[in-house]
Amino acid sequence: DTGVGKSSIVCRFVQDHFDHNISPTIGASFMTKTVPCGNELHKFLIWDTAGQERLRKFSLARD
């Protein structure tokens, strides 16, 4: 879906900043964040794609 705030949520998670006026994503952008959990570090690789149907194939979630 377009215009629902995907980029704003990614920005908040990765940069600890929420931007209400962020520009729409054109194509895709990529960000990483490493988060400590106990004695381990977990690295998140986040693709922020435009909300177009043709980009849905890039969506993946793993356990």
Q: Which one, of 48, 29, 26, 22, lies nearest residue 59 by Cα?
A: 48
Output the pLDDT for position 25: 75
Output the pLDDT for position 40: 97
Output the pLDDT for position 43: 96
Q: How far apart are CA 48 and CA 33, in angstroms?
A: 13
More confident residue, 63 or 12: 12
Residue 63 · residue 40 · CB < 8 Å: no
Q: How far apart are CA 35 and CA 48, in angstroms?
A: 18
pLDDT tens, residue by residue, 6-58: 888 888 999 888 877 777 777 778 899 999 999 999 999 988 877 655 555 55
Q: What is the pTM of this model?
A: 0.60
